Structure 1
Amino acid sequence: MFIVYVLVLLVVSLSVYERFCRRGRLRAKVPGPTYWPLVGNTLETLIPHDKLFIYLRTLNKKYGDVVGFGALDIVAINIYNPNDIEKILSSTKYIEKQQPYTFLRGWLGEGLLTSYGKKWQRRRKLLTPAFHFNILRRFFRTFEEETEELLKKVEAEVSNERTDIGKLISNMTLKAVCKTAMGTSMNEGIQALSAKYFDAIQNLGAILVRRICTLWLFVDFTYQFTSYARKEQKILKDLHGFTRDVIRQRKTYLKQNPSILNLDYDDETNKKGRLAMLDLLIQNQNEGGIDDEEIREEVDTFMFRGHDTTSMALTFFIMRLADEPQIQEKIYQEMKSIFGDSDRPATMEDIKEMKYLECCIKESLRIYPSVHYIARYVTEDVELGGYTVPANSIIQIHIYDLHRREDLYPEPERFVPERFSPENCVNRHPYAYIPFSAGPRNCIGQKFAMLEMKTLVSSILRKYRLEPVTRHKDIVFVSELVLRSRDPIYVKFCSR
């Protein structure tokens, strides 16, 4: 009985301290759902992932632009106003990432997505040249080749009443990343692992979201004894097996062709050559800069960010175009103005002329931002929306909600590509549209993604008309690392 009294006294003491210490007092001033002693707001999040997604959408509407959340000594502040978002994302003071990104370190280590400080700065400086315009010109050839392969599969789908567009696209984007940034040809061994890779990412995302929302899973010590941790280890075996095979294949090729790492000039541009991402990492390892595990971290990071996010962005975009026949026709007419009746492949110059298609892609990324949530960790007090956020707090930025603010985007659910015409972008807040994040930690591969999306969609629409099967109003989203629908997304392809 004495032990029970001691435990009760301890819990009460912790609750009182948590509420009335400086951090607790500052947190209590921020609007938000009822904050229960010790467990905080975790009870509201112990719901299925589709319901969790809906619940999170209510916070901004109910409590305003700054919403408090958390548990124990964890203070998490959700922000939705572009002025506050700019304050966090534009500053080099706030580039640190802690939870929930620490939960990704079993998978991604301390790669570009999860690292911070000097390590992040060194990696960013090392990898930035891998996405230079001259490199993207070389990637464009691969995008064309993979698009041609995809079109052959689409042709086989024309007789079907519906096609699972997600499955079709995800294989193409994975192959494109392997062949471009990784320089790997996707041999039979890697191809066999690719199916596991798709499932592994989704399953891992579901586990990580559950961990973020569950207090006893938040702590490493207790998490390691759970079935979630055991399942994560099995998933990581598949994910790391895939990326290590990619690295091994490229290293073998470079040993047979060592001149690639000593490239002095690009044959086409007659300028100093630039290496693709994995080649840069291997070269840096040869010079004593990084080791095998650090290469694996960056390959895992880009395989995830460069494949999964682009795949989902394309899936939602194609689905929405099928549901917007007038906009689809406008894109087709733009293609006709560029190509006429020719069936020649596109060039980089053609891609630049696809102005309306680019507006459509941007509008799709507004409505369906693949990375719908990002977070930063502040190590000093910061004023946001008139409230003092204490040091050592997590700042959570919900891009999905930002992109649907009616004061920024009237009738936000409507698909209106003209929002992104040059004249309509002039007065828009620079942090009102951030599908690739913004500031010092913006997405290093955003030009890569845009080029891939324009190449693929323009090629599809030149040959096929899209008819809706899955309607945009019927989509049920789930809370995961990347914006996903609960159910498969279908369209119908019709030959022109």
Structure 2
Amino acid sequence: MFLALFIGLVVLLIIVDYLNRRRHNEIFKQNGIKSFTYLPIIGSAHHFVNVSPNDFLQFTSEVFEKYGNTCSLWLLNRATVLTADPMVLEPLLSSQKVLKKNSLYGLLDSWLKEGLLLSNGPKWHSRRKTITPTFHFKILEEFVQVFEQQSNIMMDALKEKADGETVVNLYPFVCAMALDIIAETAMGVKINAQLQPNFPYVKAVRTVSAIFAERFIAPLQRFDFWLRLTAPRRFQQLQSNIALMHDFTGSVIEQRRAQLEQSIENNTRKDEATDTLLHDDVGCKKRRAFLDMLLQAKIKGQPLSNSDIREEVDTFMFEGHDTTTSGISFTCYLLSRHPAVQQKVFEELRAVIGDDKQRAMTLYDLQALQYLECVIKESMRLYPPAPTIGRHIEEDVYLGDKLFPANTNITILIYHAMRNPDYFDDAEQFIPERFSADADRKINTFAYVPFSAGPRNCVGQKFAMLEMKSTICKILRHYELLALGKEVRPIANIVLFSATGVNMGLRPRKYI
């Protein structure tokens, strides 16, 4: 009797599973989208059993070779489309109907809540409209000073390794510098990540980022209940460090709001009210930060609450250090492996600012470095800081001439899209000149999307480009980059990094 009931239940589940998948499968077939084979209940999960995080990019490359640049699969009961096709990216990223991020982003909810990265609908629209002006030209001009000061600290840290023989993994040095930069520009505070790596907030950011990276590439760990069950200490570590970060940013916001209110009451300039110490190790600066502008912003006539502002500040902190770290590190790696390109960048740099290594660069100097910009763009084409992005289709929608059904996740493999030989000649080669204004072949806008595209493109891309330019210039003014150490082995995580480090040698730069 029990066996019969069990068999009947299994058959019922299989029938329900089939009916739930049928419409999606029919639409995908009509659109000519090939699909992974799947099993009842578990979907296509068995295809990923032997795929390690280190192998994911190679695995997806083989998938696209077999199934085409757009294919479908089932992750448990979730219909998922994988694509690296610019013909799909254009209508998808341009669409006002497909603005919601896919379910993977939910991993970050406990840290970022409903900040700009994760919010949807009217909340996202109002926040985007409020935050975009904070990246105004005049604001960015002030931030160049922060880039300069923090990169000077990194130059001192690299000095003892710059003997032309020592293999240097540049990534952790750049990461600490980028964390200092985003803390000062987003919150207006110095956390001294480069000089005081054990400061609690710095350790918390690194710990939480590492745990989220692990969860992103381990499917079962994406579920809180599973992490709590199998790694309770790790789960508690995650929760306690997120709480520490929230407390820190919350205290900064409260103090800056009090200063702003006091300055208004005293009818003084806001900037004169930022000269206090928040902590023995954290000092406020007489410079506007994103936080100051958010404190004065209003949505529908109402100021943002402290929790609203904390969501955005936490989002800035998350998005604003690992991505630029990846971009800077991989660009320097490529320069170390292409000395002729490195020399051309250095000559352009000398032509713009001369030979004084101590001269501070200005926003206008950075904008004048057009060849360096081509180099950075080409580096991000080969090694995009955000190798994948995702969207969720909530209702049936036509993207181009193809119907995509409701309740479908779409994962966009930017890494593969930007290496597509149909859109880039010698796609695997490092050729910065392809981005020059007089290049023979113009770049398709939706074949090159390192900052995404459309309504949900990266709001901080100008900030990121300036930071990358400033830091790379600083490194090249002081050091020649040499091809030493292991080659990179890129891993597609929340942010692209290398399993082998981003290695090179450094030799003190000689001006002739």
Deviates more, 1:26-35 or 1:456-465: 26-35
For residues 60-106 of structure 1, give each alpha carbon's deviation from its aligned partner in whole angstroms, at most 9, with x where no partner exists: 22211220022343111122221211101112111122411222212
Report the CA distance between 1:470 and its aligned residue: 3.6
For 1:252, the equivalent position in structure 2 comes to 255
Q: Is the 8 A contact 1:182 1:276 kept in 2?
A: yes
* Paired residues for 1:201-350 under 5 Å: 201-211=209-219, 214=220, 223=226, 226-227=229-230, 231-249=234-252, 251-253=254-256, 255-256=258-259, 258-259=262-263, 276-284=289-297, 289-343=303-357, 344-350=359-365
Deviates more, 1:278-287 or 1:100-109: 278-287
Q: Is the 8 A contact 2:213 2:494 kept in 1?
A: yes
Q: What is the CA–CA distance in structure 1 between the aligned matches of 2:218 and 2:238, rounded to whole Å?
A: 15
Q: What is the CA–CA distance in structure 1 between the aligned matches of 2:208 and 2:186, rounded to whole Å?
A: 21
For residues 146-204 of structure 1, give each alpha carbon's deviation from its aligned partner in whole angstroms, at most 9, with x where no partner exists: 11111111222213612221111000000000111211122669834313422430221
Q: For 1:403, which of 398, 418, 421 is the aligned residue? A: 418
Deviates more, 1:435-444 or 1:54-63: 54-63
Q: For 2:106, which of 102, 106, 130 is the aligned residue? A: 102
For 2:409, the equivalent position in structure 1 comes to 394
Q: What is the CA–CA distance in structure 2 between the aligned matches of 1:225 and 1:238, rounded to whole Å?
A: 15
For 2:488, the equivalent position in structure 1 comes to 475
For residues 282-316 of structure 1, give each alpha carbon's deviation from its aligned partner in whole angstroms, at most 9, with x where no partner exists: 34599854333332221221111111111111111
Q: What is the CA–CA distance in structure 1 between the aligned matches of 2:360 and 2:222, rounded to whole Å?
A: 51
Indicate the SS of the match to 1:406.
coil
Q: What is the CA–CA distance in structure 2 between the aligned matches of 1:368 and 1:48, rounded to whole Å?
A: 19
For 2:167, the equivalent position in structure 1 comes to 162
Deviates more, 1:357-366 or 1:34-43: 34-43
For 1:10, the equivalent position in structure 2 comes to 12
RMSD: 2.8
User: Is 1:151 the equivalent of 2:165?
Assistant: no
For 2:178, the equivalent position in structure 1 comes to 173
Q: What is the CA–CA distance in structure 2 between the aligned matches of 1:192 and 1:107, rounded to whole Å?
A: 16
For 1:58, the equivalent position in structure 2 comes to 62
Deviates more, 1:304-313 or 1:280-289: 280-289
Q: What is the CA–CA distance in structure 1 between the aligned matches of 2:270 and 2:441, rounded to whole Å?
A: 39
Question: When the two structures are superposed, what TM-score results if normalisation uses the length of structure 2?
Answer: 0.87
Report the CA distance between 1:455 and its aligned residue: 0.7
For 1:270, the equivalent position in structure 2 comes to none
Q: For 2:92, which of 75, 88, 94 is the aligned residue? A: 88
Report the CA distance between 1:28 and its aligned residue: 4.9
CA gap 1:357/1:420 in 2 versus in 1, 3 angstroms = same
| One-letter amino acid of the counterpart of residue 10, structure 2 | V
| One-letter amino acid of the counterpart of residue 3, structure 1 | L
Indicate the SS of the match to 2:481.
strand
Q: What is the CA–CA distance in structure 2 between the aligned matches of 1:451 and 1:395, rounded to whole Å?
A: 31
Q: What is the CA–CA distance in structure 1 between the aligned matches of 2:303 and 2:175, rounded to whole Å?
A: 33
Q: What is the CA–CA distance in structure 2 between the aligned matches of 1:349 and 1:224, rounded to whole Å?
A: 49
Report the CA distance between 1:423 and its aligned residue: 2.4
Identity percentage over the alignment?
32
Q: What is the CA–CA distance in structure 2 between the aligned matches of 1:129 and 1:233, rounded to whole Å?
A: 38
CA gap 1:223/1:280 in 2 versus in 1, 3 angstroms = farther
CA gap 1:323/1:237 in 2 versus in 1, 3 angstroms = same
Q: Is the 8 A contact 1:183 1:250 kept in 2?
A: no
Q: Is the 8 A contact 1:162 1:492 kept in 2?
A: yes
Unaligned runs of 5+ in 1: 268-273
CA gap 1:183/1:432 in 2 versus in 1, 3 angstroms = same
Deviates more, 1:229-238 or 1:409-418: 229-238
CA gap 1:484/1:259 in 2 versus in 1, 3 angstroms = same
Q: Is the 8 A contact 2:387 2:492 kept in 1?
A: no
For residues 398-452 of structure 1, give each alpha carbon's deviation from its aligned partner in whole angstroms, at most 9, with x where no partner exists: 1101100011112222110001101238733211111001111110110110111
For 1:366, the equivalent position in structure 2 comes to 381
Deviates more, 1:296-305 or 1:432-441: 296-305
User: Is 1:418 the equivalent of 2:433?
Assistant: yes
Q: What is the CA–CA distance in structure 2 between the aligned matches of 1:233 and 1:285, rounded to whole Å?
A: 36
Indicate the SS of the match to 2:330.
helix
| One-letter amino acid of the counterpart of residue 186, structure 1 | I
Q: Is the 8 A contact 1:45 1:52 kept in 2?
A: no
Q: For 1:444, which of 437, 441, 459 is the aligned residue? A: 459
Q: Is the 8 A contact 2:84 2:413 kept in 1?
A: yes
- More helix by percentage: 1
Q: Is the 8 A contact 1:68 1:77 kept in 2?
A: yes
Question: When the two structures are superposed, what TM-score results if normalisation uses the length of structure 1?
Answer: 0.89
